[in-house]
Amino acid sequence: EIVLTQSPGTLSLSPGERAVFSCRAPHNIRNDYLAWYQQRPGQAPRLLIYGASSRAPGIPARFSGSGSGTEFTLTISRVEPEDFAVYYCEQYGSPPYTFGQGTRLDI
Amino acid sequence: QVQLVESGGGVVQPGKSLRLSCVVSGFNLIAYGMHWVRQAPGKGLDWVAVISSDGQTRYYADSVQSRFTISRDTYTNILYLQMDSLRVEDTAVYYCARGGAPDHWGQGTLVTVSS
């Protein structure tokens, strides 16, 4: 099982600032099958990024993903009020698939 | 319009069984792999199981291996999760989700395992 480690645990920012989330794996994720999700309170997760860097349909351009192998990053160029939520990474390259523990983006 | 609607959750005693259903519309199960993902109250996401688009391959999280079974009915377009030998730690909202990196999710159904 691939254990994903996300950092930081909580990110405290103001609207308009840049947000950077990290996700690390102990060994290479096959085919860079790494996804990022946003989850707002009381809602189901929403796919933001797949394949480490491909933006899902309908996702604003301020969200971007980068990285390969064992280190991945999600960046929000300028945080909007609706972006305050919890963000998870997931590897879907090698079963059992696994999620990181999440990073909370707080005001 | 793609929709996924879970049902079958409820309160069950430890050691008992429960079957969850996920009715999908707007696409066919034969074209997509499907997942079950759960979330314990106040906790993070926990991947549970996946079934491949051809229905031939299934994988499970270590924590549910040999207790849970994922299956599907391609005629009715329903995904299932049979959960046996339930434990208190299986208490969670259970989501069904579509695709390799799931791009559509249901609203979830709550399973509470308690004596």
If DSSP codes are grouped into helix, strand and coil, which group holds residue B4? strand
From residue B48, how far is each of A95, B36, B68, B69 by CA, in Å?
A: 10, 5, 9, 10
A56 touches chain B (CB under 8 A): yes
B73 to chain A nearest CA, in Å?
A: 23
Cα B110 to Cα B92: distance, rounded to the nearest angstrom: 6
How many CB atoms are located within 10 Å of the residue B31 CB? 11
Is the dihedral angle over the CA atoms B62, A49, B5, B31 positive or is it negative? negative
Of A83, A85, A51, nearest to A66 by C-alpha is A51
pLDDT tens digit sequence for B34-90: 999 999 999 999 999 999 999 999 999 999 999 999 999 999 999 999 999 999 999
Percent of chain B with pLDDT strictly greater than 70: 100
* Cα separation, A39 vs B73, whole angstroms: 29
Which of chain A's residues have a Cβ under 8 Å away from the Cβ of B47? 90, 96-99
Nearest CA in chain A to B33: A92
Distances in whole angstroms, Cα of residue A1 to Cα of each of A91, A94, B63, B72: 10, 8, 11, 25
pLDDT, one tens digit per residue, over A7-61 is 999 999 999 999 999 999 999 999 999 999 999 999 999 999 999 999 999 999 9
The mean pLDDT value for B92-107 works out to 95
| Per-chain mean pLDDT for chain B | 96
Size of interface A-B (CB pairs under 8 A): 57
- Residue B113 near residue B88, CB atoms below 8 Å: yes
Residue B89 tokens, joined: 């730690």
pLDDT value of residue B90: 98
Partner residue opposite A97 with nearest CB, options B50, B107, B108: B50
Rg (CA), chain B: 13
Q: Nearest C-alpha of chain B: how many angstroms from A59?
A: 11
A26-37 pLDDT tens trace: 999 999 999 999
Q: Taking CB atoms and an 8 Å cutoff, what residues of chain B touch A39?
A: 45
Distance CA A95, CA B6 (A): 23
Nearest CA in chain B to A34: B101
Measure the CA–CA gap between B47 and B92, rounded to whole angstroms.
Answer: 12
pLDDT beyond 90 at B2: yes
User: What is the average pLDDT across A65-80?
Assistant: 97
- Residue A107, pLDDT above cutoff 90: no
A contacts of B105 (beta carbons < 8 Å): 44-46
- How far apart CA B70 and CA A5 sit, in angstroms, is 27
Question: Residue B100 pLDDT more than 90?
Answer: no
Report the half-sphere exposure of A5 (CA within 13 A, side-chain side): 6
Mutate to test the interface with B, among A97, A98, A99 (most CBs of B within 10 A): A97
Chain B residue closest to A104 (CA)? B44
